Amino acid sequence: MRKELGEYLCRALCAALAGVLAAALAAAAPQAEGADAPASAPPAAATPWREEEPMPTPAPTADSAPIVTRDSPTYSPETLAAELEALHACYPEETRLSVYGTSCLGQPLYAMEIGNPEATTRVLVQAGMHGREWINVQILMAQIEDYLAKDMYDPMLERASFLFVPMSNPDGVRIAQEGAAWIENAAYRALVERLIEESGRSHTLWKANGRGVDLNRNFDAHWEDSRVIEGIEGPAYAHYPGPAPESEPETRALLALTEDYAPTVTLSYHSRGETIYWYFFQEGEALERDARLARRLLDLTGYAGLARGEDLTVTSFGGYKDYCVETLGIPAFTIETGASAWGIPVPIERFPEIYAQCKNLTALAAAP
Measured CA distances, 230 to 132, 161, 226, 273, 316 (Å):
19, 36, 6, 20, 9
Identify the pLDDT of residue 29: 46
Residue 302, number of CB atoms within 10 A of its CB: 8
Does residue 254 carry a pLDDT above 90? Answer: yes
What gap in Å lies between CA 192 and CA 157, rounded to an integer? 42
CB 31 within 8 A of CB 173: no
Of the listed ranges 8-12, 282-286, 359-363, the one predicted with least confidence: 8-12
Average pLDDT, integer, range 192-201: 96
Identify the pLDDT of residue 307: 52
Rounded to 5 degrees, φ, ψ at 80 are -55, -50
Return the SS3 of 34: coil
Does residue 10 carry a pLDDT above 80? Answer: no
CB 325 within 8 A of CB 291: no
pLDDT > 70: percent of the chain: 81
Does residue 128 carry a pLDDT above 50? Answer: yes
Identify the pLDDT of residue 37: 41
CB 295 within 8 A of CB 307: yes
Residue 311 — pLDDT band, cuts 50, 70, 90?
low
Cis amide leading into 345 (omega within 30): yes
Does residue 114 carry a pLDDT above 90? Answer: yes
Average pLDDT, integer, range 88-116: 97
At 298, which amino acid appears? L
What gap in Å lies between CA 14 and CA 69, rounded to an integer? 9
Return the DSSP state at 326.
I
pLDDT > 90: percent of the chain: 76
Does residue 76 carry a pLDDT above 50? Answer: yes
- Which letter, b or e, does each residue of 14-49 get, where b requires 16 or more Cβ atoms within 10 Å of its Cβ? beebbeebbeebeeebebbeebeebbebebbebbeb
At 45, which amino acid appears? A
- DSSP, residue by residue, 236-270: -SS----SSTT-SHHHHHHHHHHHHH--SEEEEEE
Would you mind telling me the total number of residues written for the chain in this entry? Answer: 368
Give the list of residues 6+ apart from residue 122 with CB closer than 8 angstroms, or none.
Answer: 160, 161, 163, 261, 262, 263, 264, 265
- β-pair partners for 139: none
What gap in Å lies between CA 120 and CA 100, rounded to an integer? 21
Identify the pLDDT of residue 316: 86
Identify the pLDDT of residue 135: 97
Of the listed ranges 19-23, 77-81, 175-179, 219-223, the one predicted with least confidence: 19-23
CB 266 within 8 A of CB 335: no
Residue 342, number of CB atoms within 10 A of its CB: 18
Does residue 317 carry a pLDDT above 80? Answer: yes
Q: Please report, in angstroms and rounded to a whole number, the separation of the first and last CA atoms in the chain.
A: 26
Model confidence over 13-46: pLDDT tens digits? 444 445 544 444 444 444 443 333 445 443 444 3
Model confidence over 160-190: pLDDT tens digits? 999 999 999 999 999 999 999 999 999 999 9
Mean pLDDT score of the chain, rounded to an integer?
86
Does residue 9 carry a pLDDT above 90? Answer: no
CA dihedral 56, 12, 167, 26 (to 10 degrees): -70
Identify the pLDDT of residue 64: 60
Identify the pLDDT of residue 11: 53
Identify the pLDDT of residue 304: 81
Rounded to 5 degrees, φ, ψ at 101 are 175, -170
pTM of the model: 0.85
Average pLDDT, integer, range 42-59: 40
CA 103 centroid distance within chain? 13
What gap in Å lies between CA 173 and CA 75, rounded to an integer? 8
Identify the pLDDT of residue 306: 66
Identify the pLDDT of residue 305: 74
Average pLDDT, integer, range 283-290: 94
Does residue 359 carry a pLDDT above 70? Answer: yes
What gap in Å lies between CA 199 and CA 201, rounded to an integer? 5
CATH 3.40.50.150 at 2-28+45-174+246-365, yes or no: no
Rounded to 5 degrees, φ, ψ at 360 are -100, 5
Average pLDDT, integer, range 48-54: 41
CB 234 within 8 A of CB 40: no
Q: Please compute Rg for the chain using Cα positions.
A: 19
Q: Is 278 exposed, middle or buried (0-12, 13-18, 19+ CB in 10 A)?
A: buried
Average pLDDT, integer, range 114-122: 97
Domain ranges of the chain: 2-28+45-174+246-365
Identify the pLDDT of residue 367: 87
Average pLDDT, integer, range 84-92: 97
Average pLDDT, integer, range 195-212: 97
Does residue 282 carry a pLDDT above 60? Answer: yes
At 277, which amino acid appears? Y
